[in-house]
Amino acid sequence: MGSYQASFRVWRGDDESGALQDYTVEVNEGEVILDIIHRLQATQAPDLAVRWNCKAGKCGSCSAEINGRPRLMCMTRMSTFTEDEVITVTPMRTFPVIRDLVTDVSFNYEKAREIPSFAPPEGVAPGEYRMQQVDVERSQEFRKCIECFLCQNTCHVVRDHEENKKSFAGPRFLMRVAELDMHPLDAKDRQKAAQEEHGLGFCNITKCCTEVCPEGIHITDNALIPMKERVVDRKYDPVVWLGNKLFKRSGSKS
Amino acid sequence: MTEIERHSFDVVVIGAGGAGLRAVIEARQRGFRVAVVSKSLFGKAHTVMAEGGCAASMGNANPNDNWQVHFRDTMRGGKFLNNWRMAELHAKEAPDRVWELETYGALFDRTKDGKISQRNFGGHTYPRLAHVGDRTGLELIRTMQQKIVSLQQEDFAETGDYEAKVKVFAECTVTELLTNDGKISGAVAYWRENGKFVLFETPAVVLATGGIGKSFKVTSNSWEYTGDGHALAMRAGATLINMEFVQFHPTGMVWPPSVKGILVTEGVRGDGGVLKNSDDKRFMFEYIPDVFKGQYAESTDEADRWYDDADNNRRTPDLLPRDEVARAINSEVKAGRGSPHGGVFLDIASRLPAEEIKRRLPSMYHQFKELADVDITKEPMEVGPTCHYVMGGIEVDPDSGAATVPGLFAAGECSGGMHGSNRLGGNSLSDLLVFGRRAGLGAATYVEELGERPAVAESDVDAAVARALAPFDGPADGENPYDVHAELQQSMNDLVGIIRKAEEIEQALARLEELKKRAQQIVVKGDRKFNPGWHLAMDLRNMLLVSECVARAALLRTESRGGHTRDDFPGMDAEWRNKLLVCSVQGDAVDVSPKEQVPMRQDLLELFELGELEKYYTDGELAAHPQRKA
């Protein structure tokens, strides 16, 4: 494959107004969408706003919607499009636009702050933590999250319903609750709050979050559904809770 | 006087990577009000890109490990130019810093008996790197980010305000530090989102801004790595050391062109991967340098036995320190034995079962599959050197992280000394934990002991704002910042790269002079709202200053050592071992002067055999060694 000229439509504007703008831009072998956005900056649109850092799918900064599909720009190869296809790049829809492809994602940081943090076990000194690999792997899957917020952007509970933002933490942070709940040494009960404070009940497991996760985390199957099961399996009862906490390490790995 | 948003804090930490966050935690725990100012969103800093692990001699995988062994490995890796006190503190304190992370909620991979698992890495005698697959940096940054959230939750419970003690200023860039009578008094920054300026009034600043790699074309570093902390410190009157030492990581991706430079973790080799040339030969056996003779396996059989029986075999030379491996790859490619796209082969496919590769190296599997259409469980990777890390940085007091300017502290990659002429893999994450904490502590202690806080001079604020806005008023046909940046990267890559010589460095200096002039003619288009062209114009000022330091120091050091290889002075010279090159700036003029290091404390020196020291030291320096006296 040699170089070719691609047709791009990029959303330009700010919180007040904006529109798609057409560009014709060079594409070379092996390039990704973010390379093309950078080429536009360097040659045609020096003030085109885009958020990015690592360009290797590790930091989760360059989230956008490419032909309507939420994706990381750095991990979307141009070879997945035909040469004559018009490629439309728009900012994430669920969050307010700051400028061009950059959105205000502060919603997510506010939600993060509402999830009670890891509660270290009492009487276990630093260096004395003992956990089995099989037990840490459940939470480790969720800790692969790079906080690109594509799942938050995609989840229809908030994508089309601004009013739900107040009472719904979103898949990323419900998964954080699940991560702590499955942490072998976390000393806090998470299940009641998941339902009552973080809006787990809003989720109707359509798996849209899982589909867009660039890390391939099974958000719905491994975090949200098990969390829902734990919540409905019991009425809140500290004895049952303690029992679950003690015996869950023999449970199956999800 | 400029209308400006004002904030007052006890400590301002610039940079929200591992070192910065660890400093924030420490200063907050000492009761101070702390701001953390970051160019990126919270949790996106460069630390997320660290893959392999965090070195700490916990002895979980091999009980023979201890801080002395780690100390010796670190000094060898840095070719004995390291600040030995930093290397000592680092080796001693790293295990506590790692264990502490577990109390914040970190989940490292485990050994069979439930302890933190440790992996092999270049230059480390024993398996020493605490890790989480190949995404250890992400685990570190997320853990500390979440610890900061937990501190904010405590403050909320107490005061009703999450930000009572720790406030995050995300996507906010500091352009200038302010001093009064030589002491830190504040910092001027701008919000990337709207281009409005912010003044921080503070007696103490901790710089934790990371590295300088964005001045080079082929690099594993992100756009943030523009040497901001280095440049801010210099302009505030502080000094830099060791700027000639730049680490080229041996294994970056080489193809496709758009991903050239992206890191391939050393963990691939730690877990059994081997380097091969186009003749399918494991060439590293030809490149064991004299100083490491006897410490590495001399045959492939021995090297392969070592993975299972490390006590009776020597380690594979694929795991020599990074500078050695990078030079070896460079030589193989030059000799015509490279891979199709100008690298060499890194083979893990023939060494481990596919499932095991995916389990241990999930990000590498994903990265090659997605970006290069290469399945690393079936075929070898193509890799080559990429600019990865700067050993040089702000000259600091080892114990407190204090720079030469009162009130200024530095930790992590932007500080200098710890790694000498070459950093061992895995020593970066431990460095930022150990010295992030110490810098936070140093800043807290400074503020405690300080009487009156230095006042900010309003004229300095006005000047800083005017300087930042200048690119909007550049000449109508002025320079494009992206062009100037691209030329800087090309020049540094070609002329002050992995192999250097005097004529080329002199050419680089001449080009830098030109680029400095052109940078003054930059004009940016658009307004102040999230304008990347404007942001780059400001970052360029830092990159040009820091690049000049690298080039000037590289020209002066007439020997080859660690991350500084001179084609015209290929040998290591004992007379240079103890010399630091100290950079400072007066106005626009960079000065580089040699300075002697403090000799290593006797008890530490005695941790080494005389025979080994003789490879690095001058005769005179070893007169007091007990084996010499005996």
Count structural domains, chain A: 2
pLDDT at residue number B628: 82
Chain A CA closest to residue B526: A47
Residue type (1 letter), A188: K
The answer on pLDDT for B347 being more than 50 is yes
- Smallest Cα–Cα separation from B161: which of A112, A199, A167, A113? A113
The answer on pLDDT for A248 being more than 90 is no
Each residue's pLDDT tens digit, A188-245? 999 999 999 999 999 999 999 999 999 999 999 999 999 999 988 765 555 556 666 6
Q: Is B601 on the interface with A (CB under 8 A)?
A: no
Chain B, 324-353: which have a CB under 8 Å from a chain A CB? none
CATH number, domain containing residue A16: 3.10.20.30
* Yes or no, beta carbons of B103 and A180 under 8 Å apart: no
Of B103, B156, B533, the CB nearest to A47: B533
Paired tokens of A107: 């919603």
Domains and CATH numbers, chain B: 5-245+391-458 (3.50.50.60), 253-387 (3.90.700.10), 469-578 (1.20.58.100), 600-629 (no CATH)
In angstroms, rounded to a whole number, what is the distance separating the alpha carbons of residues B250 and B382?
11
In angstroms, rounded to a whole number, what is the distance separating the alpha carbons of residues B36 and B144?
13
* Yes or no, beta carbons of A32 and B258 under 8 Å apart: yes
The answer on pLDDT for B431 being more than 80 is yes
Same domain, A188 and A226: yes
Chain A CA closest to residue B105: A118
Among candidate residues A76, A103, A130, the one where a domain is terminated: A103
The answer on pLDDT for B566 being more than 60 is yes
Q: What is the mean pLDDT of residues B459-476?
A: 96
Three-state SS annotation for B347-399: ECCCCCCHHHHHHHCHHHHHHHHHHHCCCCCCCCEEEEEEEEEECCEEECCCC
* Yes or no, beta carbons of B40 and A49 under 8 Å apart: no
How many other C-beta atoms lie within 10 A of the C-beta of residue B479? 22
Same domain, A143 and A170: yes
* Yes or no, beta carbons of A54 and B222 under 8 Å apart: yes
Q: Which residue has the tokens 């390291």?
A: B82
The answer on pLDDT for A174 being more than 60 is yes
Q: Bridge partners of B189?
A: B174, B198
In angstroms, rounded to a whole number, what is the distance separating the alpha carbons of residues B340 and B100?
46
Paired tokens of A153: 């952007």
Each residue's pLDDT tens digit, A160-173? 899 999 999 999 99
Q: How far is A105 from chain B (nearest CA, A)?
A: 9
Of B110, B168, B526, the CB nearest to A131: B110
Of B103, B132, B153, the CB nearest to A126: B103
Preceding peptide of B256 cis, ω within 30°: yes
Q: How far is B116 from chain A (nearest CA, A)?
A: 8
The answer on pLDDT for A253 being more than 80 is no
Same domain, A194 and A234: yes
Residue B457 DSSP class: P
With vertex at residue B5, the alpha carbon angle to CA B443 and CA B21, rounded to the nearest 5 degrees, is 35
Output the known binding site of B for substrate: 249, 265, 423
In angstroms, rounded to a whole number, what is the distance separating the alpha carbons of residues A24 and A235?
60
Instruction: Enumerate the residues of chain B whose CB falls inside 8 A of the CB of residue A109.
Output: 42, 168, 170
Same domain, A115 and A90: no
Domain that holds residue A124: 106-253
* Yes or no, beta carbons of B48 and A54 under 8 Å apart: yes
pLDDT at residue number A234: 62
pLDDT at residue number A124: 97
* Yes or no, beta carbons of B258 and A146 under 8 Å apart: no
How many other C-beta atoms lie within 10 A of the C-beta of residue B378? 10
The answer on pLDDT for B463 being more than 70 is yes
Supply the Cα-derived Rg of chain A in whole angstroms. 21
**Residues B302/B384, Cβ–Cβ less than 8 Å:** no
Banded model confidence at residue B257, pLDDT cuts 50, 70, 90: confident
In angstroms, rounded to a whole number, what is the distance separating the alpha carbons of residues B376 and A239?
48
**Residues B384/B252, Cβ–Cβ less than 8 Å:** yes
Of B117, B150, B482, the CB nearest to A46: B482
Same domain, A159 and A51: no
Same domain, A162 and A52: no
**Residues B522/B478, Cβ–Cβ less than 8 Å:** yes
Same domain, A148 and A191: yes
DSSP codes, A197-250: TS-GGG-----HHHHH-TT---IIIIIIHHHHHHHHHS-S-HHHHHHHHHHGGG
Among candidate residues A59, A78, A103, the one where a domain is terminated: A103
pLDDT at residue number B624: 82
Q: Is B257 on the interface with A (CB under 8 A)?
A: yes
Instruction: Enumerate the residues of chain A whose CB falls inside 8 A of the CB of residue B107.
Output: 131, 136, 139-140, 143, 183
| Phi, psi dihedral angles at B182 (to 5 degrees) | 80, -5
Q: Is B150 on the interface with A (CB under 8 A)?
A: yes
Residue A80 DSSP class: G
Paired tokens of B104: 């914040």
In angstroms, rounded to a whole number, what is the distance separating the alpha carbons of residues A115 and A113?
6
* Yes or no, beta carbons of B107 and A50 under 8 Å apart: no
Task: Tell me what the pLDDT averaged over chain A comes to.
Answer: 92
* Yes or no, beta carbons of B256 and A56 under 8 Å apart: no
How many other C-beta atoms lie within 10 A of the C-beta of residue B455? 12
Sign of CA dihedral B349, B355, B357, B363: positive
**Pairing mode of beta strands B408-410, B204-207:** parallel
pTM for this predicted structure? 0.95
Each residue's pLDDT tens digit, B94-117? 999 999 999 999 999 999 999 999
Paired tokens of B337: 């034995």
Paired tokens of B138: 């992400």
pLDDT at residue number A245: 67
Chain A interface, best mutation among B57, B131, B226, B258, by max A CB count within 10 A: B258
Among candidate residues A87, A103, A119, the one where a domain is terminated: A103
The answer on pLDDT for A246 being more than 80 is no
Same domain, A13 and A40: yes
Residue type (1 letter), B1: M
Of B107, B156, B223, the CB nearest to A136: B107
Chain B interface, best mutation among A15, A143, A172, by max B CB count within 10 A: A143
How many other C-beta atoms lie within 10 A of the C-beta of residue A253? 9
Same domain, A167 and A217: yes
Same domain, A54 and A85: yes
Q: Over pLDDT 70: what percentage of chain A?
A: 91
CATH number, domain containing residue A176: 1.10.1060.10
Same domain, A34 and A146: no
Same domain, A140 and A228: yes
- Smallest Cα–Cα separation from B367: which of B128, B133, B142? B133
* Yes or no, beta carbons of A126 and B139 under 8 Å apart: no
The answer on pLDDT for B310 being more than 70 is yes
Output the known binding site of B: 15-20, 38-53, 228, 249, 265, 388, 413, 423, 428-429
B4-8: list long-range contacts, CB under 8 Å, 24+ apart. Answer: B4/B197, B4/B198, B4/B199, B4/B461, B4/B465, B5/B196, B5/B197, B5/B198, B5/B199, B6/B198, B6/B199, B6/B201, B7/B35, B7/B167, B7/B198, B7/B199, B7/B200, B7/B201, B8/B200, B8/B201, B8/B202
* Yes or no, beta carbons of B44 and A143 under 8 Å apart: no
Of A50, A126, A146, the CB nearest to B96: A126
* Yes or no, beta carbons of B105 and A133 under 8 Å apart: no
Chain A CA closest to residue B486: A42
Q: How far is B164 from chain A (nearest CA, A)?
A: 14
Instruction: Enumerate the residues of chain B whose CB falls inside 8 A of the CB of residue A190.
Output: none
pLDDT at residue number A244: 63
pLDDT at residue number A251: 40
Residue type (1 letter), B517: K
Q: How far is B367 from chain A (nearest CA, A)?
A: 7
**Residues A59/B49, Cβ–Cβ less than 8 Å:** yes
How many other C-beta atoms lie within 10 A of the C-beta of residue B607? 13
Q: What is the mean pLDDT of residues B30-43?
A: 97
pLDDT at residue number A243: 61
Name B150's Cβ contacts closer than 8 Å, sequence gap at least 6.
A117, A118, B104
Of B132, B156, B532, the CB nearest to A47: B532
Each residue's pLDDT tens digit, B2-19? 579 999 999 999 999 999
The answer on pLDDT for A249 being more than 70 is no
The answer on pLDDT for A250 being more than 50 is no
pLDDT at residue number A254: 38
Chain A CA closest to residue B252: A56
* Yes or no, beta carbons of A42 and B142 under 8 Å apart: no
Each residue's pLDDT tens digit, B484-498? 999 999 999 999 999
Instruction: Enumerate the residues of chain B whose CB falls inside 8 A of the CB of residue A47.
Output: 524-527, 531-534
* Yes or no, beta carbons of B109 and A146 under 8 Å apart: no
- Smallest Cα–Cα separation from B435: which of B86, B75, B12? B86
**Residues B436/B93, Cβ–Cβ less than 8 Å:** no
**Residues A126/B100, Cβ–Cβ less than 8 Å:** yes
In angstroms, rounded to a whole number, what is the distance separating the alpha carbons of residues B562 and B78?
6
Task: Tell me what the pLDDT averaged over chain B comes to.
Answer: 96
Q: CA separation (Å) from B282 to B337, B344, B459?
A: 12, 10, 62
In angstroms, rounded to a whole number, what is the distance separating the alpha carbons of residues B127 and A160?
51
- Smallest Cα–Cα separation from A99: which of A28, A14, A23? A14
Chain B interface, best mutation among A14, A38, A117, by max B CB count within 10 A: A117
Residues of B acting as catalytic residues: 322
Chain B CA closest to residue A35: B258
* Yes or no, beta carbons of B149 and A144 under 8 Å apart: no
**Angle between helix B532-556 and helix B481-495 axes, rounded to 10 deg:** 20
Paired tokens of B88: 């000592």
Chain A interface, best mutation among B60, B99, B101, B107, by max A CB count within 10 A: B107
Q: How many CB pairs below 8 Å do chains A and B form together?
A: 177
Of A47, A55, A109, the CB nearest to B531: A47
Q: Is B262 on the interface with A (CB under 8 A)?
A: yes
Q: Over pLDDT 70: what percentage of chain B?
A: 99
In angstroms, rounded to a whole number, what is the distance separating the alpha carbons of residues B16 and B173?
12
